[in-house]
């Protein structure tokens, strides 16, 4: 079914081609790749797509992720930005040991917010880009609501039809602004550590994490608004965000925690998964030989943002001990450094700086995965149906891990406990229940009734023709806490009862008193 949809969608896209601007700051692979998939999906459907990419992180500008979209406009860093920017890489090792809390979130994410702000200022200073973009008469603009710099810019160059696209399941900061309820009593916030069944103290923490992240984002948005308002006469970011025609979110309804969304919110999770391509991949002889060495194979990868080589040595030793205790399993570890002397004498590890992740996950000889739970890897894992041990490091990874664990195919493990990971690894490798549940989920996901690519193309074309849709904006955002939560209505409905009961109470009290007084008078 998944595949038939692709065919239908390729054939049926005969509408006039639209000029589309995709604004994607270059700072982290997971965000860029998602925006690149959107761009390529629209290019594939016959639209004229420009991928506008301000460089926030110099080292990532060769990894834009766009494959068939040809019009890529890189906005290079000028001298002023280079001068102000703190190096990002050196700080990433911190994330292994740092526990993100509501109180340190501001500091923890300051590397990102700082580079976002510098990048925004740099982007807006670039007059050539402004002129060139303005002349292209874009019909629709797509931005990620992690920054509002591009959103203000789009308004300035005359784009009135925008679509927000979150590479995460959602951003807490966006929901309140666009009138979507964030039900923190049973929906884990983006950076929450818990699942949907929370104790009171967990709900308190969930709430605090959500508000802290919202605070970080709001602060960034305010700064960016000031920046773009220095250049252009453009409304506040809240107004612009609310006026987005649709909100694409990288969530899969069948996979995510159930939650209430607005009618503008369109789930397009799984858009990065190209099953046809994954199944067509052939493993090289070298990788094939690695898989054939032992009966079982486990892939270990912590993604590209936080490096395995920076993992605290005692945790690496814990993993090493677990590996040593499984002589029938080859562990393929995505590892960045050539210096692996700390693993000397353990023969069943295969270190590699690069791994063909989806080809391996799809291979019958691969038994299990150990992953940090970035949303990209989490989605691939869900679609390819392998058991996994998920060891979240930071950001939304804990939520992703808990989200997948609900379906029974994976087990979540705390990074702080990596010294004692042995039994968990054995469990995931040899307890057949994980495999059974993982396969069941994969089959479901591969047979969903809608295809994310169709959702993107259809909604974009609709927005391009008829958007924006102010009629779809919830009136709820204009209401205060009392009105929104019906507290005034409860008051009107139930206050008479209280007044009535109170009156009866007073009368009874009066009688009791009167009786006592009467008795006392009589006794005298």
Ligand X SMILES: *[C@@H]1O[C@H](CO)[C@@H](O)[C@H](O)[C@H]1NC(C)=O
Tokens read off for 29: 């692979």
Sign of CA dihedral 167, 169, 170, 171: negative
Segment 407 to 436, residues that bind ligand X, using CB under 6 A? none
Residue 390: burial class (beta carbons within 10 Å; 0-12, 13-18, 19+): buried
Among 87, 158, 235, 327, binds ligand X (CB under 6 A): 327
Nearest distance from C-beta of residue 197 to ligand X, angstroms: 36
Contacts of range 414-417, beta carbons closer than 8 Å, 24 or more positions apart: 415/96, 415/315, 415/391
Among 2, 5, 71, 278, binds ligand X (CB under 6 A): 71
Nearest distance from C-beta of residue 245 to ligand X, angstroms: 20
- Tell me the site size for ligand X, rule CB under 6 A: 7
Nearest distance from C-beta of residue 357 to ligand X, angstroms: 26
Nearest distance from C-beta of residue 294 to ligand X, angstroms: 9
Q: Which is nearer to ligand X, 323 or 412 (CB)?
A: 323
Among 5, 6, 13, 48, binds ligand X (CB under 6 A): 48
| 348 interacts with ligand X by CB under 6 A | no
| 17 interacts with ligand X by CB under 6 A | yes
| 106 interacts with ligand X by CB under 6 A | no
Q: The tokens 């799984």 sit on which residue?
A: 270
Say how many residues make up the chain.
524
Nearest distance from C-beta of residue 18 to ligand X, angstroms: 8
Q: Which is nearer to ligand X, 138 or 228 (CB)?
A: 138
Tokens read off for 285: 């002889």
Nearest distance from C-beta of residue 296 to ligand X, angstroms: 9
| 337 interacts with ligand X by CB under 6 A | no
Q: Which is nearer to ligand X, 19 or 262 (CB)?
A: 19
Nearest distance from C-beta of residue 303 to ligand X, angstroms: 29
Name residues whose C-beta falls within 8 Å of residue 53's C-beta, 6 or more positions apart in sequence. Answer: 24, 25, 26, 32, 61, 64, 72, 73, 74, 75
| 136 interacts with ligand X by CB under 6 A | yes
Tokens read off for 303: 């993604």
| 158 interacts with ligand X by CB under 6 A | no
Q: Which is nearer to ligand X, 48 or 63 (CB)?
A: 48
Residue 152: burial class (beta carbons within 10 Å; 0-12, 13-18, 19+): buried
Among residues 489, 460, 492, which one has the least CA distance to residue 15? 460
Instruction: Kindly provide the residue ranges of all beta strands, DSSP E only, lying in 321-474, ordered along the sequence.
Output: 329-334, 349-352, 368-371, 388-390, 410-412
Among 12, 328, 417, 431, binds ligand X (CB under 6 A): 328
358 within 8 A of 278, measured Cβ to Cβ: yes
Distance in angstroms (rounded) separating the CA atoms of residues 109 and 217: 10
| 19 interacts with ligand X by CB under 6 A | yes
Nearest distance from C-beta of residue 140 to ligand X, angstroms: 13
Distances (CA, A) of 273 to 2, 44, 136, 218, 358: 11, 15, 31, 32, 9
Q: Which is nearer to ligand X, 158 or 327 (CB)?
A: 327
Q: Where does this chain bind ligand X (CB under 6 A)?
A: 17, 19, 48, 71, 136, 327-328
């Amino acid at each position: 079914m998944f595949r038939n949809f692709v065919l239908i969608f390729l054939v049926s896209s005969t509408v006039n081609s639209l000029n589309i601007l995709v604004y994607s700051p270059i700072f982290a692979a997971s965000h860029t790749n998602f925006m690149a998939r959107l761009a390529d999906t629209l290019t594939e459907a016959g639209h004229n797509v420009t991928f506008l990419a301000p460089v926030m992180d110099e080292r990532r500008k060769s990894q834009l992720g766009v494959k068939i979209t040809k019009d890529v406009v890189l906005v290079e860093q000028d001298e002023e930005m280079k001068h102000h920017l703190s190096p990002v890489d050196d700080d990433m090792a911190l994330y292994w040991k740092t526990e993100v809390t509501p109180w340190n979130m501001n500091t923890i994410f300051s590397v990102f917010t700082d580079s976002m702000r510098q990048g925004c200022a740099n982007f807006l200073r670039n007059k050539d880009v402004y002129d060139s973009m303005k002349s292209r008469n874009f019909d629709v603009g797509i931005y990620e609501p992690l920054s509002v710099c591009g959103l203000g810019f789009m308004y300035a160059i005359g784009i009135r039809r925008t679509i927000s696209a979150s590479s995460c399941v959602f951003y807490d900061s966006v929901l309140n602004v666009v009138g979507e309820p964030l039900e923190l009593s049973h929906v884990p916030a983006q950076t929450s550590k818990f699942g949907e069944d929370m104790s009171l103290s967990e709900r308190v923490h969930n709430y605090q994490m959500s508000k802290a992240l919202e605070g970080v984002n709001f602060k960034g948005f305010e700064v960016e608004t000031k920046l773009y308002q220095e250049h252009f006469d453009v409304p506040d970011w809240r107004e612009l965000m609310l006026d987005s025609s649709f909100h694409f979110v990288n969530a899969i309804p069948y996979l995510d925690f159930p939650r209430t969304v607005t009618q503008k919110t369109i789930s397009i999770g799984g858009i990065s998964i190209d099953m046809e391509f994954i199944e067509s991949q052939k493993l090289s002889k070298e990788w094939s030989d690695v898989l054939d060495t032992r009966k079982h194979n486990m892939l270990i990868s912590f993604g590209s943002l936080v490096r395995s080589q920076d993992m605290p040595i005692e945790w690496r030793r814990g993993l090493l001990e677990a590996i040593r205790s499984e002589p029938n399993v080859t562990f393929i570890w995505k590892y960045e450094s050539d210096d692996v002397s700390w693993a000397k004498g353990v023969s069943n590890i295969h270190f590699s700086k690069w791994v063909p992740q989806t080809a391996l996950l799809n291979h019958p000889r691969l038994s299990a995965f150990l992953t940090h739970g970035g949303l990209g890897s989490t989605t691939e894992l869900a679609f390819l149906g392998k058991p996994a041990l998920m060891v979240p490091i930071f950001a939304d990874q804990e939520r992703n891990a808990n989200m997948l664990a609900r379906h029974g195919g994976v087990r979540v493990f705390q990074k702080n406990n990596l010294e004692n990971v042995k039994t968990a690894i054995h469990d995931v490798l040899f307890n057949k229940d994980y495999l059974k549940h993982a396969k069941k989920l994969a089959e479901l996901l591969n047979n969903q009734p809608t295809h994310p690519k169709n959702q993107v193309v259809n909604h974009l074309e609709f927005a391009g023709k008829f958007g924006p849709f102010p009629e779809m904006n919830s009136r709820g955002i204009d209401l205060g806490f009392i009105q929104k939560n019906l507290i005034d209505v409860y008051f009107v409905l139930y206050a008479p009862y209280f007044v009535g009961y109170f009156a009866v109470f007073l009368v009874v009290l009066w009688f009791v008193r009167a009786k006592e007084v009467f008795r006392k008078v009589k006794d005298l």
